[in-house]
Amino acid sequence: MAWLAFGYFASYIPYVMLLKTLVHGMTQTAGGPVDGMVVLPAAALGQLAVMPLFLLASGWWRYARPEPGAGGGPRGAVSAYRREILAGAAAAVVIGTTTLGFTFPGASVLLVLLLMRGGVLVMSPLMDLARGRHVPRSAWVALGFSLAAVLVALGGVRDHHLTLPAVLCLCGYLAGYTARFDLMSRVAKAGEVGVDRRYFAVEHAVAPLCLVLLLGVGALAGQPGLRAGFTDFLATPTAWAAAGVGVAYEVLFVFGTLIYLDARAFTWCVPANRCASLVSGLVAAYALHHLAGLPLPSGAELLALVMVVAAVLALSAPTLSRRRAAKGRGRRVVFVCGNNTSRSPLAEYIARHEAARGSVRAARFTSAGLTAPTTARRHRARMSPHARAALRDLGVRPLWPSPRRHRARPLTVRLCRGSAAVYCMTGAQRDAVLALAPEATARIHCLDPGGDIPDPSGQPASAHLECARRIRQAVRTRLAHPPGDGGPHSDGARAA
């Protein structure tokens, strides 16, 4: 998330600076200020031109396939992608109003940023509550700091002149984000890479195309600025600079969407996104002062920056404290299956991922197999390729240790004795572990008290993915309410 926020911050600066230099007539190619409506068509065409490059280079276009049974032809595709297409239309409104908002006379960079960002910050917890999503305490603290930063900085903005078109533009921006967040919550944002990338690919392809079409309709309806933007302006050298605005927005759109698609609550994601854009606005304001003589940020705006940093620290604190706690306690949890190549390593990596997200208790997670060989580590079996693919589809992509480095590990009496809990995939495996280490009986359980988790070895990738999903649900349930901690899933003499 930190890298995504940094990418959003870095790409927002050239976007804002290039757009403001255009509308103030500060480029060498511009003969004078350019109206925002005139800039919009070239910017939309610039984004539309580079959008396919990212989808092709990343390979994510492959995820944009209709689900089985959706039917063929354009009608079937529209039916399969209906909510993603609507989200793309909402994103088009956001893109257009964002660019247009910076072009109104009397509206400074920081004023526009603060009004737009403040509105989305207020919206985020309401959207989470409406969707029944848990909002952690740290996210509320970060939201409070972010809102305080907006209010403080707003008090320091020198020019608060807003025309009726600017107010309508702001309303359109907030309406677009409301619809987009609602559709995103329904379609994606569940922590599954395949689902999230499918949403991203379709929304990403639809948004700039829909924006060009909407602007084209406005030009045909007689809006003079849009008509000039599609005709005379495109023949000028300044049109290339306006297209560059769209290219810069394409980059920040990628980073921004990936931040929002994080499975955590909007109240966590939105401050990370909004904080990055507010900081970039301050940087752009300083740069425009030195390059074009525009006013410097005020003391209130600098104080707002300090509050933004406080919000980022509030977001980071729970993750850092969980890591410190896990190291300090030394609490180890072992997952056990047969060969330690599919089910138990799946549970190990899923548990690490869930602990990093804060949805389960932190611990030192490892895995082992009842029949794994005791040969040298380099000769032991690797994790199943289908199991590694299932981790990727669930959004579990650890940098270290990589699933590719996993080697099957034999279960030992010492490992059982030194662990806070041992979770087995089947009742028969639990019986075998009890026979191996009877003194650890109270700490040996079935991962899923509702039944055995079958071995997917030798089956297709779909079986491994289904197994991984069941393991993820069992890990979330078990580690949120571990046996002996008052949880509702205590094993009896034998859980199956």
Mean pLDDT value of segment 416-423: 91
| Packing angle, helices 266-292 and 137-156, rounded to 10 | 30
Q: What number is the average pLDDT over the span 223-243?
A: 87
Crossing angle, helix 82-101 and helix 193-220, to 10 degrees?
60
pTM over 0.85: no
Specify the CATH superfamily of domain 330-480.
Response regulator (3.40.50.2300)
Kindly state the average pLDDT of the residues 141-158.
69
Q: Residue 59: what pLDDT? A: 83
Of residues 463, 468, 470, 418, the one with CA closest to residue 449: 470
Per-residue confidence band for 316, with pLDDT thresholds at 50, 70 and 90: low
Q: Are 304 and 152 in contact (CB under 8 A)?
A: yes
pLDDT at residue number 3:
73
CB 203 within 8 A of CB 84: yes
Residues 262-268: what's their mean pLDDT?
73
Taking 60 as the threshold, does the pLDDT of residue 68 lie above it?
Answer: no
192 vs 86, residue with greater confidence: 86
The residue extents of the domains of the chain are 2-105+163-263, 330-480
Phi, psi of 448 (to 5 degrees): -110, 105
Q: Return d(Cα 197, Cα 385) in angstroms, integer.
A: 21
Q: Tell me the residue type at 361.
A: R
The yes-or-no verdict on residue 285 having pLDDT over 60 is yes
Average pLDDT for 182-188:
86
**pLDDT grade for 161, boundaries at 50, 70 and 90:** low
Residue 421 and residue 489 in contact, taking contact as beta carbons nearer than 8 Å: no
